[in-house]
Chain A
C-alpha cells in the first residue's frame, strides 16, 4: 500500500532560520495522526511547509502524496490535489462573500477536472446542509469570509470548508484553540463525520483534550523541530501528566 502522505527527513527554514530539522512521518489512508508539542516547536511551520506556503523553504528531504513529490507544486495545486489546511488563525477577507468564496474553491476543482461549474442553487443547498451540522446559520454564510467572526465561528467555518472540499489529506492546526467545551464538541463531531477510509488527517494540538474527541491512531511529539517520540493515543495522556519538559531530554 502506498502511504497517503510520506514525509522523509524534512528540513525547512523560515528566512535563514532552520525550524524543521529532520522530520519523518508516514500516514496511511484513513489514519488519523496527532502532532503535539510545546509552543514554538514548529507545528504550524510544518503545516505551512506541507501546504507549500511562500517563504517556508524546504532545505532537505521530501514530501510525497500518494507517492508523488509535492515540492515543486504551488500551494493551489497541492490544495486541488487533496491537501487541506485548517488554519490556526483563519484569515479575514473583507467584502468577499462566503458563498462566492466557497464556490470559487469548489469550481477550481471542477475546472481542473474538466467538469462543469457547480450549479448555483444546488450549491447553496449543499452548503446550507453542511453548515447546519456545524451550527453555522445562514446569516453567517452571507457575511464576508471570517470578518467579525468569533474565534469559535472561525474554527467551525474551517471545518465547513473541509467538508465541502473533501480533501484526502487534512491538516488541522490547533482547531481546538479558543473553543469552549460546547464548540469543541460541535467541531470535533464535524471532524469525526469526515473520517473516512480514503481520507487521512494530521491533527495538530497543544492540549490533550482535543484527542478525547478526535481519537487518533498515532501520536507524535514534536519539539525543537524534530519528532521526539511516537506512540499510540496513550502517549497523549502521558504528555498531559508529565508535560513536555522531559521530552527534549529523551531525544
Chain B
C-alpha cells in the first residue's frame, strides 16, 4: 500500500485538494460517482501506476472532453449521463453461496440448457469454488505453464508495472487515445483487462480465455486488452462466455488491440451474451467496443470471430490493418438480435500491403422488434497491389417487425485490387419449418437448427470446445421469437 499512498500524496500535491474529498476513503471499494480528472488520477493511483500511465490517461481524458459521441450508426442510443456512473470499484469477493440450491432457478435452467458443466455453473453463479472479481481480471491458474513457454498472460494492470517497456511501446499504437469517443473514454478510465505477449517462434500451448463480467450495478466497465504476437508466434484467445450476464443498464466500452508481426497469427474469438434487456426493451447493457488489429509483418494473419447475442445496443467493428505483404485479415460474425435489441456491427479491412487478403463473412439474424445492421469498410490503399477481399453478408429475418440492414463501404485506390461482395436477405420458410416439425422436432428446436445452419460458416471458426455451447446459445436467444 506504500506505493498507493505515495501516489496519492503526489496526486494531492498536483491537484491541491480533492474536490470530492474521497481521498480519506482510499480503502473504500469505490470512487464516488462521476467523471473528472481527479477520478482519472484516483484510478491510476489505486492501481499503483507509473507516472507515464497517468499522463497517458489524462491526455485521453482531455481528448475525450473535446469529442462527441458518434451518431452515424443505425442506432437509437438514449443520452448517457457520464456523471451518473462509478468508474472504479475495487476487486472484492462477493459473498459466496453455499450451494446451487441458493441460486435463482431460472438462471440455473439457462445454464442447464447451455450444457454448462456443474463446476462451471457454480463458478458462474458464485457458489463457493473460486473468487469472483468485479473489474479486475480473474487471476489465471495457467500462468506457470504459460511462463514456461515464455508466454506472458496477465492483467494489464500488472503488465503496466512489470513490463512497462512493452506496454509503452504498443498500447495505443493500434487504437490511439483519440481514435473515437468510446476509445478515448476507455483510455482515460480503463480498470483492467488482459495483456498477452507471445515471443518469437512460440506457439501458445493453450487457448487463452477470460471471462469478463459485470457484477456491480452502475459500474461502467472499461476493459483494455493488448495482445502482441512476435515473429512466427501463434495465439488463440477467447473472450466472453455463453452464460447470460444479467444487470441493469450499463455502459461497456472495451478496447482490444492486436499486433501481429511477421508470420505471426492471432485468432481472437468472442462470445458475447451481456444482458439484452427484457422483452419490453427495459434495461440491458450498452456494448460500445473498439477492436482492431494490425498485421505489421509480412504474411501475418489476424482472424476475428464473434458470436454476438447479448446487449441492448451493440456498436462494434473488429478491424484489421493489413500492412504486411501478403498479410491476411478475417472477420467471421454472427450477430443475433431479438425483442428490442439493436446491433450495428461489422468490420474494417484496411489493405496497405501488397498481396494482402481479407475475408468477411457476416451472418445477421433479426427477430422480434430488433434492428440489426452490418456496416463494413473495405479500403484498398494505393500500395495494396493485387490485394483481394471477399465479403459475404447474409441476413435472416424472423417475423415481420424487425429490420436487417447492410451498409458496405468500398474504397479502392489500386486498380489491381479485387473486391467481391455478396449479400442475401432471407426468411425461415414455412416449408423448412414444416419439414422439421414433421420429423417431430419442436418449433423452437426447429428454429434453432435452421438458424444454426445459417450461421454454420461462422460457428465452425470458433474454438471446438465452444461450438456446442454457442449453438445452444443461438437457440436460447431466439426463444419466444416464433409462434
Residue of B431, B441, B443 contacting most chain A CB atoms (<10 Å): B441
Min distance, Cβ B54 to any Cβ of chain A, angstroms: 51
Q: For chain B, residues 435 to 481, give those with C-beta under 8 angstroms from any C-beta of chain A.
A: 435-443, 445-446, 449-450, 452-457
Q: Measured between C-beta atoms, what is the minimum distance from A122 to chain B in Å? A: 18
Using known A-B contacts A93-B432, A104-B449, determine if residue A79 contacts B454 with beta carbons closer than 8 Å: no
A75 & B449 in contact (Cβ 8 Å cutoff): no
Question: How many interface residues does chain A have, given as a range?
Answer: 20 to 34
Query: In the complex, what distance in Å separates the CA atom of A101 from the CA atom of B450?
Result: 10
**Chain A hits for B455, CB < 8 A:** 95
Asked if residues A91 and B452 are in contact (CB atoms below 8 Å), the reply is no
Pick the contact of A95: B431, B442, B454 (CB < 8 A). B454
| Residues in chain B near residue A144, CB distance under 8 A | 453, 456
Q: Which residues of A lie under 8 Å from residue B442 when comparing CB positions?
A: 76, 108
Q: Is B422 part of the binding interface, using a Cβ–Cβ cutoff of 8 Å?
A: no
Chain A nearest Cβ from B365, distance in angstroms: 12
Pair A94/B443 contact, Cβ less than 8 Å? no
Q: Which residues of the other chain, A, contact B450 by a CB distance below 8 angstroms?
A: 93, 96
Interface 1/0s, chain A 212-232, versus B by CB < 8 A? 000000000000000000000
A214 to B2 Cα, complex, angstroms? 90
Enumerate chain B residues within 8 angstroms of A76, measured Cβ to Cβ.
437-438, 440-443, 446
Q: Does B430 contact A (CB under 8 A)?
A: yes
Check A109 against B440 for contact (C-beta < 8 Å): yes
In the assembled complex, the Cα of A53 lies from the Cα of B455 at a distance in Å of: 27
Interface assignment of B434: CB less than 8 Å from any CB of chain A: yes
A79:B435 contact, CB within 8 angstroms: no
Mark contacts of A66-107 with chain B using CB atoms, 8 A cut-off: 1 yes-contact digit, 0 otherwise: 000000001110011000110100111111110011001100
Contact A51 B438 (CB under 8 A): yes
- What residue in chain A is nearest B471 (Cβ atoms)? A100
A90 lies within 8 A of B435 (CB) = yes
A200 within 8 A of B: no
Taking the nearest CB of chain A, how far is it from the CB of B476, in angstroms? 15
Among A76, A101, A109, the one with the most B-chain Cβ atoms within 10 Å of its Cβ is: A76
CB-based contact A93/B435 at 8 Å: yes
Is A235 close to B, CB under 8 A? Answer: no
> Which of A53, A74, A75, A108 touches B445 (beta carbons < 8 Å)?
A108
In the bound complex, do residue A95 and residue B440 qualify as a contact, i.e. CB atoms below 8 Å apart? no
A79-B440 in contact given A93-B453, A95-B454, A96-B449 (Cβ < 8 Å): yes
Question: Could you tell me if B439 and A94 are in contact, using CB atoms closer than 8 angstroms?
Answer: no
Q: Are A91 and B437 in contact (CB under 8 A)?
A: no
User: How far apart are A41's CB and chain B's nearest CB, in angstroms?
Assistant: 21
**What is the bound-complex CA distance between A51 and B456, given in angstroms?**
30
Q: How many residues of B contact A (CB 8 A)?
A: 24
Smallest CB separation, B331 vs chain A (Å) = 19
| Chain A 37-68 interface residues, beta-carbon cutoff 8 Å to B | 51, 53-55
Q: Which residue of B lies closest to A100 (CB)?
A: B449
CB distance from A132 to the nearest CB of B (A): 21
Chain A residues contacting B439 (CB-CB under 8 Å) are 79, 101, 104-105, 108, 161, 165
Within the assembled complex, what's the spacing in Å between the Cα atoms of A144 and B460? 14
- Please give me the residue from chain B that is nearest to A112 by CB atom: B440
Label chain B's interface by main secondary structure. Answer: helix
Q: Chain B residues near A55 (CB, 8 Å)?
A: 430
Q: Could you tell me if B453 and A79 are in contact, using CB atoms closer than 8 angstroms?
A: no
Chain B residue at smallest Cβ distance from A90: B435
Q: Are B430 and A105 in contact (CB under 8 A)?
A: no
Partner of A75, one of B431, B434, B453, B456: B434
In the complex where A91-B431, A104-B445 touch, is A85 in contact with B453 (Cβ < 8 A)?
A: no
Contact B454 A94 (CB under 8 A): yes
- Please determine whether A105 and B457 come into contact, CB atoms closer than 8 angstroms: no
A246 CB to closest chain B CB (Å) equals 35
| Pick from A75, A90, A96, A165: contact of B437, CB under 8 Å | A75
A79 to B455, CA, bound (A): 27
**A92 partner residues in chain B, CB cutoff 8 A:** 432
Asked if A79 meets B437 with Cβ closer than 8 Å, knowing A96-B449, A100-B449, A101-B449, the reply is: yes
Q: From the candidates A54, A87, A90, name the one contacting B430 in the complex (CB within 8 A).
A: A54
Instruction: Tell me the minimal C-beta distance from B395 to chain A in angstroms.
Output: 14
| B329 CB to nearest chain A CB (Å) | 24
With contacts A74-B437, A96-B449 known, is A91 near B456, CB below 8 A? no
Across the interface, do A105 and B441 meet the contact criterion of CB distance under 8 Å? yes
Q: Which residues of B contact A165 (CB under 8 A)?
A: 439-440
CA distance A129 to B318 in the complex (A): 46
| Chain A residues with CB under 8 A of B457 | 95
**Minimum Cβ distance to chain B for residue A170 (Å):** 12
Q: Give complex CA distance A109, B431 in Å.
A: 22
Note all chain B residues with C-beta closer than 8 A to A84.
438
Instruction: Given A76-B443, A104-B441, A108-B445, decide whether A94 and B453 contact each other with a Cβ distance below 8 A.
Output: yes
Nearest-neighbour CB distance to chain B for A151, whole angstroms, equals 16
CA distance A108 to B445 in the complex (A): 9
CB pair B432 A91 closer than 8 Å: yes
Q: Which residue of B lies closest to A102 (CB)?
A: B439
Residues of chain B within 8 A of A105, CB atoms compared? 439-441
Task: Select B438's contact among A75, A95, A96, A97, beta carbons within 8 Å.
Answer: A75
Given contacts A95-B454, A161-B439, 15 further A-B pairs with CB under 8 A are: A51-B438, A53-B434, A54-B430, A54-B434, A76-B437, A90-B435, A91-B434, A95-B452, A95-B453, A95-B455, A96-B449, A101-B439, A104-B436, A105-B439, A144-B456
Interface, chain B (partner A; CB < 8 A): 429-432, 434-443, 445-446, 449-450, 452-457
Among all A-B residue pairs, the 9 with the closest Cβ atoms: A95-B453, A96-B453, A95-B456, A79-B440, A105-B439, A91-B435, A75-B437, A80-B440, A76-B437
Question: What are 29 A-B residue pairs whose CB atoms fall within 8 Å in the complex?
Answer: A53-B434, A54-B430, A54-B434, A55-B430, A76-B440, A76-B441, A76-B443, A76-B446, A79-B439, A79-B440, A84-B438, A90-B435, A91-B429, A91-B432, A93-B453, A94-B454, A95-B452, A95-B456, A95-B457, A96-B449, A96-B450, A97-B453, A101-B439, A104-B436, A104-B449, A105-B439, A108-B440, A108-B442, A144-B453
